[in-house]
């Protein structure tokens, strides 16, 4: 079996910074009211569908008056629903329509689904396809095998922190340097005292992905879990990550190195080489 290939970083087609030739701080060209509205919409999760002004303030760090003003505007535009008795908001169907439009027309996801299912069935693991959303990754596609020894609630729409698991490390490894450094600066501000330890583990994972084409955590991120992740770079698409998750006793380090990681990389390579990807 061929040795795993090193990760290639995203090219100009994958990075807005590279496409525009901008090496300055991306925040200088940001439209802040728009960014704040998106931050507000991004605060909602499948587990917390109803949020009040105080919740939104805590999750976004925006001033209370700004939260109230933007939330009211999003209600008027049809992106939020407001429940006056509890004084809370939830996402409205207009937001769901945007999300479904984004994933339903993804040729990459359609092509990945069958391969992910076959991988999940063969190795009795959970397989996911994820993309970056600010400082998290959001699961776009997920396949689970009922015979997997470990139950895992990793479904479409789940979020994974970019700093804390191989899924995030694989994504960071694939990004252009300027984009990765920008994200690391933001992570450092968010994590404060926990950052030095997290940075060491993250740096090791990124280096592993650059060297071997994948990164893994076996009983480190969670003592029961083994996670293996490989970047998926397709021309014209934002970087994605393929990952498999199983029980630590099932996915031993020798098995990961010998079997699981090379197969995961092979799946990423197969998807990258497919012809006929439709462009809108």
Give me the domain span that covers residue 251: 105-273
- Smallest CA-to-CA distance from 210 within 174, 256, 165 is with 174
The pLDDT value given to residue 3: 53
**Residue 266 CB neighbour total at 10 angstroms:** 17
Predicted TM-score (pTM) of the model is 0.72
Residues 152 and 89 in one domain: no
Residue 62 lies in a domain: yes
* 95 vs 80: CA distance, rounded Å: 8
Q: How confident is the model at residue 277 (pLDDT cuts 50, 70, 90)?
A: very low
Residue 74 domain-assigned (yes or no): yes
Residues 81, 164: one domain?
Answer: no
What whole-number percentage of the chain has pLDDT above 90?
Answer: 49
* Residue tagged 């501000």 (tokens): 189
| pLDDT of res. 28 | 63
Tell me if residue 183 falls in helix, strand or coil.
Answer: helix
CA dihedral of 96, 101, 104, 108, whole degrees rounded to 10: -120
The number of residues in the chain equals 280
In a domain, 192, yes or no: yes
In a domain, 25, yes or no: no
Tens digit of pLDDT for each residue in 116-167?
A: 999 999 999 999 999 988 888 989 899 998 888 888 878 888 888 899 899 9
The answer to whether residue 235 is domain-embedded is yes
- Could you say which of 82, 98, 114 is where a domain stops? 98
Q: Is residue 71 domain-shared with residue 197, that is, in the same domain?
A: no
Domains in the chain, number? 2
Instruction: Report if residue 5 sits inside a domain.
Output: no
Q: Are residue 92 and residue 112 in the same domain, yes or no?
A: no
Per residue in 60-108, pLDDT (tens digit) is: 889 999 999 999 999 988 889 999 888 999 988 788 667 766 665 577 8
């Amino acid at each position: 079996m061929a040795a795993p290939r090193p990760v290639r970083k995203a090219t100009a087609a994958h990075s807005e910074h590279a496409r525009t030739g901008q090496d300055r701080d991306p925040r200088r060209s940001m439209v802040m009211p728009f960014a704040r509205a998106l931050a507000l919409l991004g605060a909602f999760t499948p587990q917390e569908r109803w949020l009040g002004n105080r919740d939104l303030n805590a999750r976004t760090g925006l001033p209370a008056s700004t939260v109230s003003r933007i939330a009211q505007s999003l209600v008027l535009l049809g992106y939020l629903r407001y429940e006056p008795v509890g004084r809370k908001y939830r996402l409205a169907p207009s937001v769901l329509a945007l999300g479904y439009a984004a994933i339903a027309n993804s040729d990459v996801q359609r092509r990945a689904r069958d391969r992910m299912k076959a991988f999940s069935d063969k190795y009795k693991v959970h397989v996911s396809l994820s993309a970056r959303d600010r400082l998290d990754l959001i699961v776009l596609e997920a396949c689970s095998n009922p015979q997997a020894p470990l139950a895992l609630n990793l479904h479409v729409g789940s979020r994974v922190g970019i700093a804390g698991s191989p899924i995030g490390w694989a994504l960071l490894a694939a990004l252009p340097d300027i984009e990765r450094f920008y994200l690391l600066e933001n992570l450092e501000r968010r994590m404060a005292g926990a950052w030095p330890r997290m940075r060491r583990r993250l740096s090791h994972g990124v280096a592993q992905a650059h060297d071997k084409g994948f990164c893994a955590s076996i009983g480190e991120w969670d003592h029961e879990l083994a996670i293996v992740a490989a970047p998926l770079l397709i021309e014209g698409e934002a970087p994605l990550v393929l990952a498999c998750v199983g029980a630590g006793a099932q996915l031993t380090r020798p098995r990961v190195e010998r079997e699981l990681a090379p197969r995961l990389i092979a799946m990423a390579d197969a998807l990258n080489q497919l012809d006929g990807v439709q462009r809108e």
